[in-house]
Structure 1
Amino acid sequence: MESVKHEGIFRSAHEAVVFACNYAAQQYAMSPMAKLLQRGSSGSGRGLIGLDGAAQSGMVLAELGNIDYVQMLVLVARCAPRKERCECNHSCCGGWKPNPLYRDAVSQLADLVVPALGGVFTLRRFRLAAIEKFFGEKLKMKDVAADLNIPPRTAERHASIINAYLKDTEKTAWTEWYGQLDYAGMLFSQNS
């Protein structure tokens, strides 16, 4: 049976995963005011909102499930918003809280990078910090190491191994992800 090619709606594999991660992070449908404010902006997903947006997001996330699990976590951690609005009206969070999608991806990666360290024992909190720094959090690894009583050279060596592992995994993940979306017919073709 021959696969049927569909007209994709995403210009790139990056745009697709960003759309899905952003949509998944939203707990509620867009308000009428948010729709008005978004008019004219050139966001991804080609204006899909409500159930259509949820369906498209679900299809993209289903395709993400077809690549290697660690690669999927790396793409989600790279593209998901790190924080989301918090409406608790308390001073504890300053109006922002960690996005569960990002937090869960980073947390799982902290356990899955252990084999890359070649059996060397590292504290999970240090691995989390190194991973968060890789994905753009503003952390000083020297300070994290000092707080955890890890010698500076050891911390530098472990952070370097984690960084190299994530960099290599991310490079491969983008290649696999592009292939997966192309095969699924979700990428917009300029020649159509």
Structure 2
Amino acid sequence: MNARHEGIFRSAEEAITFACNYSSQQYAMSPMAKLLQGPARGSGRGLTGLDGAGQSGMVFRELETLDYWQMLVLVAGKAIRSESCNCLSPCCRGWRMTELFRESVSQLADQVAREARDVLPVKAFRVAVLRKHFGDKIHVLDEAEKLGIDEHPANRHATTIRKWIRELEKKGLTALSERLDAVGMLVRTT
């Protein structure tokens, strides 16, 4: 396995996941802390500290070159979906959607209504389908029932939304893979 160029990420998905989950609160460990930690457990790819922050920024820069909706769907799919909440309100149960995820899903729900045919005009339902697609543990049919939508139309419209979002993801990943490969960020074998 001979590498053509020294990339850092094995795939565009790995790059997006890293960039979306890179913590801005990471800090350099003191030499004593490193000794106490034991043997190094890193990937050896230089994705910590300022190098990691730089790589994260470079991935986001390449994401910005994509179509807006492709970028949004890729970020929504890999962004942290929830964060702890200390409001003690019974509605959130100690967790709430992150602002990035909430806004991404909201915008995608509006866009699917504009682009896909035969989609219900109920934004809350479209949001529920998208949240489920991105990994939230919600039951779309339960949400449909709460909104007064029958099961058959709910299933049909959910299928349309899922098909639209998958196609958008596929195009976005293809475009991002090409961009990351062109700038040498993907490990490429001959």
What is the TM-score normalised by the length of structure 2? 0.81
1:32 aligns with 2:29: yes
1:49/1:94 CA distance change after superposition, 3 Å = farther
1:151/1:97 CA distance change after superposition, 3 Å = closer
Q: Which stretch of structure 1 is more off in the superposition, 159-168 or 181-190?
A: 181-190
C-alpha deviation, 1:177, in angstroms: 1.3
1:145 aligns with 2:153: no
1:114/1:149 CA distance change after superposition, 3 Å = same
- Show the counterpart of 2:79: 80
C-alpha deviation, 1:83, in angstroms: 2.2
- Show the counterpart of 1:7: 6
Distance 2:96 2:40 in 1: 27
Structure 1 outlier segments of 4+, above 3 Å: 30-39, 90-97
C-alpha deviation, 1:109, in angstroms: 0.7
CA contact (8 A) 1:116 1:162 kept: no
What secondary structure sits across from 1:46 in the alignment? coil
User: What pairs up with 1:38-187 in 2 under 5 angstroms?
Assistant: 39-42=40-43, 46-85=45-84, 88=86, 91-92=88-89, 96-118=95-117, 120-187=119-186
Distance 1:6 1:101 in 2: 33
C-alpha deviation, 1:38, in angstroms: 9.9
C-alpha deviation, 1:41, in angstroms: 4.5
What secondary structure sits across from 1:84 in the alignment? strand
2:12 alignment partner AA = A
Question: CA offsets per residue over residues 37-67 of structure 1, 9 Å max, x none?
Answer: 994144xx92422332222111100100111
1:19/1:38 CA distance change after superposition, 3 Å = farther
Distance 1:85 1:6 in 2: 41
C-alpha deviation, 1:12, in angstroms: 1.4
The runs of 5 or more residues in structure 1 that have no matched partner are none
CA contact (8 A) 1:117 1:158 kept: no
- Compare relative contact order (CA 8 Å, sep 6+) and give the higher one, 1 or 2: 2
What secondary structure sits across from 2:45 in the alignment? helix
- Show the counterpart of 1:20: 19
Question: CA offsets per residue over residues 96-129 of structure 1, 9 Å max, x none?
Answer: 4423322222121111111233265421111100
What secondary structure sits across from 2:186 in the alignment? coil
CA contact (8 A) 1:116 1:161 kept: no
CA contact (8 A) 2:66 2:176 kept: yes
1:162/1:37 CA distance change after superposition, 3 Å = farther
Q: CA RMSD in A?
A: 2.9
